[in-house]
Structure 1
Amino acid sequence: MEYRALKELVKQGEGTYLEFKLKSNHPERIIREIVAFANTEGGKLLIGIGDDKSIQGLKHIDEDEFLIVRAIEKYCTPAIEYRLERIPIPGERDVLLIDVPESPLKPHYVVVDPVNDIKRAYVRVLDKSLQASKEVREILKGERISRNIRFSYGDKERTLMHHLDQHERITVDGFASIAGIPRKMASRTLVLLVLANVLEIHPNEMVDHFTARPVV
């Protein structure tokens, strides 16, 4: 990518497919963005760009690239495909571009604690990378399996759709409450209905919510 194309890209600002980082001294944050892109629809991470869209670049790009590649290999699981590109800018500096395609091997995780096998998945929502809930992780797993999803339309599903007709959205706990069912069953039912293209899930920092999928 040439400098002119870089400036046009940066003008767009951060969003679903684009993230800026000024430095690489917090590789765990960079890994989180990479995992989120892989788990969603892909995206580009530009290192050497400020939140104010200033193109500052990296002075020691060999060191930065080494740290990032090592972190990706050590803390991403399963392994993520990506492409690195150095973009020269004025002042003998470079911007590092990490291009991450949407992965067919979702969900990917950041290994937080290798000893105790603690890992977290992330997804991209607008200009943020959010930790994926259990329901989001199950949906990512289900989307990976190409098969027709079938479900029985019973009392709890009728209760759910009636609620959505009146209130537009619902949470797992809310569904469990109105249907009088265990939370585990409510979660499983909502995940199944998302995979069957009946519902949509909307990840949120506080609590995910579900809505009926618009009829096309």
Structure 2
Amino acid sequence: MRTPKSLELRDLKRLVREGEGSQLEFKLKTTHPDKIMREVVAFANTSGGTLLLGVADNGELPGLKFPDEDSFVMEKGFARYISPGVHYSKEEIILENGRPVLAYHIKKSTGALVYFNPTGKEEDRKVYIRNADRSIQASREVREILKERLKEKSYRFRYGEKEDILMKYLDQNQTITLREFSRIAGISLKQASKTLILLVLARVLQVFAHEMEDKYLLA
């Protein structure tokens, strides 16, 4: 999705026709600010994106009846649920019916991992990322990969028996999960996790985050 620097009504309609995706999310109103902030966190941790407030999931454009109230709820949500704060810009697009749609353009975080924190307690912090048109909670492996990538380091690994088993498996199968790798290599989940993380950081593998189990494949 390519978002214009400043949206006009025709730009808004074009985006809505494209539908929700990895960098675009529709919300009708701010009834559930916690759920909206998960989307914001996911955008910040992935590639950035735009949240359109006043747009239905099916693409209808009713706009917002009380935009000032919705804007206030959003500001409270940014402050209450997200740590550290995200960089974003907001604009208002007026529809033919006179009601506005609020567009929140969320920038990708380049300095730190962004957490959704519903209680303020460190143990309750969660990381969300964007997967197609959904925001999902990141696994421990994906969190570690995101953290390490922020450091912009280069990574090396030693090619040993477990790596050889993994490569031979991926020659025959498109993807592998953490549990599958642990089983076929005869190693602990902890060791399998460490190996997969390092191979992703070394750009030998890539990971596709999933709600159930992440999938790893050759880069």
Task: Determine if the TM-score, normalized by the shorter chain, exceeds 0.5.
Answer: yes
Cα offset, 1:182, TM superposition:
1.0
Q: Check the 8 A contact 1:106/1:140 in 2, yes or no.
A: no
2-structure distance, mates of 1:84, 1:117: 31
Deviation at 1:119, TM superposition (A): 1.3
Instruction: Quote the offset at 1:58 in angstroms.
Output: 0.5
**What's the TM-score once normalised by structure 1's chain length?**
0.95
- Whether 2:35 is the aligned partner of 1:29: answer yes
Runs of 4+ residues deviating >4 angstroms:
none
The answer to whether the aligner puts 1:81 opposite 2:81 as a matched pair is no
1:174, 1:115 → 2: CA distance? Answer: 34
For residue 41 of structure 1, the aligned residue among 43, 47, 68 is 47
> Over aligned residues, Cα RMSD in angstroms?
1.1
Q: How many residues align?
A: 213
Structure 2 gap segments, 5+ residues each: 1-6
Once the 2 structures are TM-superposed, how far is the Cα of residue 115 of structure 1 from its aligned partner? 4.1
Alignment match of 1:70 (pick from 66, 69, 76)? 76
Given candidates 5, 15, 18, the residue that maps to 2:11 is 5
Three-state SS of the structure 2 residue aligned to 1:117 is: helix
Partner of 1:212: 218
Other structure's SS at 1:113 match: coil
For 2:183, what is the secondary structure of its paired residue? helix
TM-superposed deviation, 1:92: 2.8
- For 2:137 and 2:146, the matched residues in 1 are separated by 13
Structure having the larger proportion of residues in strand: 1
1:192 aligns with 2:192: no
Residue segments in structure 1 that go unaligned for 5+ positions in a row = none
Kindly state the Cα deviation for residue 13 of structure 1 after the two structures are TM-superposed. Answer: 0.6
Q: 1:53 to 1:206 in 2, by over 3 A?
A: same
Are the equivalent residues in 2 in contact too, given 1:47–1:95 (CA < 8 A)? yes
What residue in structure 1 maps to residue 3 of structure 2?
none
- The C-alpha deviation readout for 1:150-186, integer Å capped at 9, x for no partner, is 1111111111111111112111111111111111110
Q: 1:93 deviation in Å?
A: 1.2
